[in-house]
Structure 1
Amino acid sequence: MIVESILLVFFALVLDFVFGDPRNKFHPTAWIGSLIAKLTPYAKNSSKTFEKLGGVFIILISSGIVLSLIIFLDIGIKLITFGYMQIIISVIVGSILLKTTIAIKGMEKHAFAVITALEQNNISSARDNLSKIVKRNTKDLDKNHVYSGVLESISENTVDGITGPLFYFAILGLPGAFVYRVINTADSMIGYKTDIFKNIGWFGANCDKFLNYIPSRLTGFIMILSAMILGNNWRKSYEIMIRDGKKTSSPNAGYPMAAIAGALEAKFEKIDHYSLGDGDILFTKDHVKSVISIMKVTSILFCGIVSIPIICVLSYLGWWIHV
Structure 2
Amino acid sequence: MNSLWILPASLLLDLGLGDPQGFPHPVRLIGKFARYMEKVTRNYISSERLAGTLTALSVYSLSFIFPWIIIEFSRYIHPFLAELASAFIIYTSIALKDLLDHSKDVHSALHENDLEKARTMVGKIVGRDTTNLEEPEIVRAGLESVGESLVDGITAPLFFAALGGPSFAMLYRSINTLDSLFGYKNETYLKFGWVSARIDDLANYIPARLTAPILCISSAILGFHPLRSFKILIRDGRKHPSPNSGLCEAALAGALKIQLGGRNYYSGVPSEKPKLGDPDRNLAPNLILDANKIIFLTSILSSILFLGLGQVTHLIIGTFFKS
TM-score normalised according to structure 1 size: 0.90
Distance 1:114 1:242, change over 3 A: same
Structure 1 match to 2:172: 180
1:40 is displaced (CA, Å) by: 2.4
Please point out which of 63, 68, 85 is paired with 2:65: 68
Deviations 1:30-87 (A, max 9, x none): 211222222223344798x721112112221112222221222123113222xxxx2x
Q: Does 1:15 align with 2:13?
A: yes
Secondary structure in 2 aligned to 1:273? strand
Distance 1:141 1:94, change over 3 A: same
Deviations 1:92-150 (A, max 9, x none): 11111101111111101221232333334443443333233223333333221111111
Q: Is the 8 A contact 2:140 2:283 kept in 1?
A: yes
Percent identity of equivalent pairs:
33
Deviations 1:128-176 (A, max 9, x none): 3323322333333322111111101111111001110011112221121
> Matches of 2:63 and 2:169 in 1, distance apart?
11
Structure 1 match to 2:153: 161
Q: Is the 8 A contact 1:130 1:146 kept in 2?
A: yes
Distance 1:57 1:127, change over 3 A: farther
Structure 1 match to 2:297: 297
Q: Is the 8 A contact 1:148 1:281 kept in 2?
A: no
Distance 1:273 1:314, change over 3 A: same
Gaps of 5+ in 1: none
Structure 1 match to 2:86: 94
Distance 1:150 1:318, change over 3 A: same
CA RMSD in angstroms comes to: 2.3
Q: Is the 8 A contact 1:43 1:50 kept in 2?
A: no
Gaps of 5+ in 2: 264-271
TM-score normalised according to structure 2 size: 0.90
> Matches of 1:46 and 1:121 in 2, distance apart?
52
Structure 2 match to 1:276: 276
Q: Does 1:148 align with 2:140?
A: yes
Amino acid paired to 1:309:
G
Secondary structure in 2 aligned to 1:199? coil
> Matches of 2:128 and 2:245 in 1, distance apart?
14
Please point out which of 21, 33, 48 is paired with 1:51: 48
Structure 2 match to 1:103: 95
Distance 1:321 1:101, change over 3 A: farther
Q: How many residues align?
A: 313
Please point out which of 244, 262, 267 is paired with 2:259: 267
Amino acid paired to 1:73:
I
Please point out which of 201, 210, 222 is paired with 1:209: 201
Amino acid paired to 2:282:
L
Structure 2 match to 1:128: 120
Distance 1:35 1:147, change over 3 A: same
Q: Is the 8 A contact 2:74 2:85 kept in 1?
A: no
Q: Does 1:32 align with 2:24?
A: no
Q: Is the 8 A contact 2:237 2:250 kept in 1?
A: yes
Structure 2 match to 1:317: 316
Between 32-41 and 98-107, the greater mean CA deviation after superposition: 32-41
1:204 is displaced (CA, Å) by: 0.8
Structure 2 match to 1:41: 39
Q: Is the 8 A contact 1:24 1:30 kept in 2?
A: no
Q: Is the 8 A contact 1:144 1:283 kept in 2?
A: yes
> Matches of 1:210 and 1:72 in 2, distance apart?
26
Distance 1:237 1:171, change over 3 A: same
1:221 is displaced (CA, Å) by: 0.1
Between 173-182 and 108-117, the greater mean CA deviation after superposition: 108-117
Amino acid paired to 2:221:
I
Q: Is the 8 A contact 1:311 1:320 kept in 2?
A: no
1:212 is displaced (CA, Å) by: 0.8
Secondary structure in 1 aligned to 2:239? coil
Q: Is the 8 A contact 1:8 1:91 kept in 2?
A: yes
Amino acid paired to 1:286:
N
